Each structure stands twice: as C-alpha cells, then as structure tokens.
Amino acid sequence: MRDIRNIVILTGAGISAESGVATFRGPDGLWEGHRVEDVATPEAFARDPALVQAFYDARRAKLGTVEPNAAHKALARLDAEWPGELLIVTQNVDDLHERAGARRVLHMHGELKSAWCLACDGRIAWEQTLADGPSCVACGESGLLRPDIVWFGEMPYRMDEIDAALREADLFVSIGTSGAVYPAAGFVQTVRYLGARTLEMNLEPSQGSLFFDESRIGRAGDLVPAWVEEVLS
C-alpha cells in the first residue's frame, strides 16, 4: 500500500445483503418477487405508476428496519482515517454507507430517500410514501414526484466526478457487485488501462473477475473489515 494514495471503491447490492437488503440477481432471477423490467424502467413507470411507486415505497420503508453491517462500518472507518483521496461510488439506493458514518459517498443510481419532481425538476429529501401523490415542497404540484432512482435506460448520476476519480485512482476496489450493469461494470477496465491496481471482494467471482489483480471470495462482512485493517496498519 506504500504507493497508494487515491482509492476508488465501487459497492453493489452484495455489501448490503448481510443487513437484510435483497440483491437484484437472486437465484430465482426476481427482485423481491418482481421482474426488474416491471419496476425499474421508465416504461414500467409510464405503464403502471402505482405498482412502481408502491414497490419503491416498500423499499424505502424497509430502510427503517435494517442497519449498516460490518462492511459498511469498515468502509466508514477507512473514509475517516485514510489520509489520501477516497471515493465510495455506490450503485445502492439505500443509505447504509451514510448511516455507518461514511462521508465521501456518491450514489450513481440515485437514492430511495430522495424524490424527483417531474414538474419543477427539483430533487427533495423524501422519507414518506409517493404512491399517494403528495405535493412537491418546492413547486407545490401534486402527483408528479417519482423515485429519484436511475432506471434501466437512464443515465447514471455524477459520471463526470466518477470519471475524474477513476482517472486519478491508484487502487480500485469492487465490493458486492455482480458486474452485470454498465457503466459501473466497466470501471475496472478503465482503471486497469490507466495503471491502477484492482481488487474485488464478492461472494462469487463477478462477471468481470478476470480484470482484477486480486479476487477475494467470501462475505463482505468478513472480507471488508479484514482488508481495511490491512490497509490502515
């Protein structure tokens, strides 16, 4: 680690699995009983807004019943103690990194606790339900708030910041992601091309496993605290 100053960490659903948040690509291919394309696309929202709103309302309510696990806490410790640049890019829409205490976090696929007003284009912090068509606190329009989640076919958030961090990274670490969804799945190839070291920690080899210098296979709650201890010692 002596040559490492800038770290970029990509996290996915696997880091929250031990907290009780469902991953996307379970053995039955369903996400909490739904096909992803029935709830996570703009077309699904246009076709059946009530279903999509109810689905995300349930995910948002579930956040109140789950807690950060050892992996989130270890990354928060690394964030607090790492003297160089560090960015946690998460594909997750939960708030478990923040609740563990991490500060340098960027949600590239949006957040459950944010609503996007289709009338005024504002984003507002949101803890309640959306299915009942509440009013936007910024513009007053009712029934035009949608989950502030990046759906399939939409552009992930803050890609300029992510690209800049990837360009400067000395070490790229991927945790709990299947490597099935781009652009996040391609980050490892970008940083590798630019000369960074790469490490993945996942329950199974990800789809891009061959691009990593090192793969550690196991549960994030075991692997991540051990890795953070190594990095900081």
The contact set with ligand OAD (CB under 6 A) reads: 12-14, 17-18, 23-25, 36, 40, 91, 109, 150, 176-178, 180-181, 202-204, 206, 219-220
Where would I find the H helices in the chain?
A: 13-17, 36-39, 42-47, 49-63, 70-81, 96-100, 159-168, 187-193, 220-232
Angle between the N-to-C axes of helices 220-232 and 70-81, in degrees from 0 to 180, rounded to the nearest 10: 20
As to burial, measured by CB atoms within 10 angstroms (0-12 exposed, 13-18 middle, 19+ buried), residue 73 is buried
Please identify, using beta-carbon distances, which residue of 198 and 206 lies nearer to ligand OAD. 206
Distance of closest approach, residue 157 Cβ to ligand OAD, in angstroms: 10
Please identify, using beta-carbon distances, which residue of 66 and 203 lies nearer to ligand OAD. 203
Please identify, using beta-carbon distances, which residue of 12 and 225 lies nearer to ligand OAD. 12
Please identify, using beta-carbon distances, which residue of 7 and 220 lies nearer to ligand OAD. 220
- Bridge partner residues of 217 (DSSP): 202
Residue nearest to ligand OAD (CB): 14
Distance of closest approach, residue 166 Cβ to ligand OAD, in angstroms: 17
DSSP conformation letters of 5-32 = --EEEEE-HHHHHTTT---SS-TTS-BT
What are the tokens at 30?
A: 């369903």
Distance of closest approach, residue 220 Cβ to ligand OAD, in angstroms: 4
Distance of closest approach, residue 124 Cβ to ligand OAD, in angstroms: 20
Query: CA nearest 128: which of 62, 60, 39, 45?
Result: 60
Active site residue 97: no
Q: How far apart are CA 199 and CA 212, in angstroms?
A: 6
Please identify every residue annotated as catalytic. Answer: 109
